Structure 1
Amino acid sequence: MKPTGDDVAGLIARAKPAIRRRDAETLTALMREVSGREPQTWGTIIGFGSCHYRYPTGTEGDSGLLGFAPRAGATTIYLFDGTAAHAEELSVLGPHTTGASCLYIKDLEAIDLDVLRGILERSLAWMEAGGSPGAQITVTG
């Protein structure tokens, strides 16, 4: 995937329901602060920074270092190092669900933002360190 260059504010403004717009504004500020990078659109994902990843299977591509998508059902936060790497923190985060590399939050005001900040900081550090033997990450922006 490549950055699409669409307007971040426009993507946020189109998010529904209204709680997704509110949460997207909060997450944009938080991820900007944590990453030190400006947001950019990757289709319907708001990403911060960029990288090229390669898995031992040969699968490779490009992505943001941190990112989220304000989906109708929940906001999806992408964690390349996987949600299992954050099991302890997730146990005290507040209401959420997870996939292998996705954290789903329906209401950002119901979770502990300091815990989320720590998760994002650790995930970013993992990315910037080049991933693990299971994934090679090269920071490109």
Structure 2
Amino acid sequence: MAQLKTTETAISVADFINSYVDNEQKKADCFRLIELMTAWSGFEPKMWGPTIIGFGSYHYTYTSGHEGDAPLIGFSPRKASFSLYIYSPSEAQKHLLDSLGKFKMGKACIYVKKLSDINISTAEKICSATIAYLNEHHECACRA
């Protein structure tokens, strides 16, 4: 079986941001997202793989037998935009996207250029709903 690339690491989140992010506004947005996601999830930030900042974890198993661990919620400060890993595609969450603000939807994430483009209150609701969804459907650190 292939080795998973996105696993929790011991790399310092602050060191990663300070060395990887070259835009001061994006850097400030990173540290603000860390404050928000720590409060919303109840977990401290950890690096997952080389560029994802995650909060908490859950264990997944696919019907194919592939399994692993992933952060409950998280983000990555990509060059073009932030990748926000905060959404589980459930019917209950789809209506929240209407009030999120300016974003693009990917297969597994929401892309935003800057934090001021989105409604933080709506982002919090999406994160809370995602954590609840993962708690219901997976082995989850949020149960502790």
Kept in 1: contact 2:58–2:71 (CA 8 A): yes
Query: Cα RMSD between the aligned structures?
Result: 1.8
Partner Cα separation in structure 1 for residue 90 and residue 25 of structure 2:
24
Specify whether residues 126 and 99 from structure 1 end up closer, same or farther in structure 2 by C-alpha distance, changes over 3 A only: same
**TM-score, structure 2 length as denominator?**
0.84
Larger RCO of the pair (alpha carbons < 8 Å, separation 6+) = 1
Identify unmatched segments of 5+ residues in structure 1.
132-136
Pair 1:138 & 2:143 matched:
no
Kept in 1: contact 2:103–2:117 (CA 8 A): no
Partner Cα separation in structure 2 for residue 53 and residue 32 of structure 1:
22
Partner Cα separation in structure 1 for residue 18 and residue 98 of structure 2:
31
- SS of the counterpart of 1:88? helix
How many residue pairs are counted as aligned between the two chains?
Answer: 135
2:122 maps to 115
- SS of the counterpart of 1:91? helix
Partner Cα separation in structure 1 for residue 8 and residue 118 of structure 2:
29
Specify whether residues 120 and 35 from structure 1 end up closer, same or farther in structure 2 by C-alpha distance, changes over 3 A only: same
**TM-score, structure 1 length as denominator?**
0.86
Within 5 Å, which residues of 2 pair with 1:47-86? 47-79=54-86, 81-82=88-89, 86=93
Shift of 1:50: 1.5
Higher strand share: 1
Pair 1:19 & 2:25 matched:
yes
Specify whether residues 84 and 100 from structure 1 end up closer, same or farther in structure 2 by C-alpha distance, changes over 3 A only: farther
Higher helix share: 2
Identity fraction in percent: 34
Identify unmatched segments of 5+ residues in structure 2.
1-5
Kept in 2: contact 1:49–1:65 (CA 8 A): yes
Kept in 1: contact 2:87–2:126 (CA 8 A): no
